Amino acid sequence: MPERSPPEPPTLRAAEPHDVPAIVGLIRELAEFERLTHLLKVTPETLHPHLFGPRPVAECLVGEAGGRVVAFALFFTNFSTFLAQPGLYLEDLYVQPAHRGSGLGRALLAQLGRIAVARGYGRFEWSVLDWNENAIRFYQRMGATVLPDWRICRVTGDALQAFATGLPPASTP
């Protein structure tokens, strides 16, 4: 019986335009995991210009195993007025369940940390759902502090349109 060679270790790289469909597939998996599929509107056509169009607003790293994209980290630049420095904000990180424990998540976070340091950023931040205890423990083991006193404020859709007028929202009966 011929010997099998061990599988190649996962690799990281910057996402390329041809990766967009795979990234969208992983975003769908993430939405299912987070029980947020009702909010999902992303398609390859809507994501592509934001990563690779004339004015990209986000960047993405992908993790590959066996020649397939099995993980991603989508991030963008934010700004801290207190530090007077830009920062790196990780919008989403996802590793397919079969590849968790392979070091891909740790490698993606470490690479983002290196990017933040290389660019002279003052912070590297992200959010985590309060019920995702596994992720919280993982991030804390990596050295992250989960801030207990901060809450995310969000306005989207019709509420955003109303918010933009500066008027209070219409009262509901």
CA 12 remoteness from chain centre: 15
CATH of domain 11-147: 3.40.630.30
What residue segments make up the domains of the chain, in order of their start?
11-147
Cβ proximity of 59 and 75 under 8 Å:
yes
Residues labelled as active-site residues: 139
Q: What percent of the chain has pLDDT over 70?
A: 93
Q: The pTM is what?
A: 0.89
Residue 17 has pLDDT above 60, yes or no: yes
pLDDT of residue 81: 97
Residue 139 has pLDDT above 60, yes or no: yes
pLDDT of residue 10: 83
Q: Summarize pLDDT for 102-114 with one digit per residue, the tens.
A: 999 999 999 999 9
pLDDT of residue 1: 57
Please name the residue that has the structure tokens 């020649």: 67
Query: Strand 123-126 to strand 85-95: parallel, antiparallel, or no bridges (unpaired)?
Result: parallel
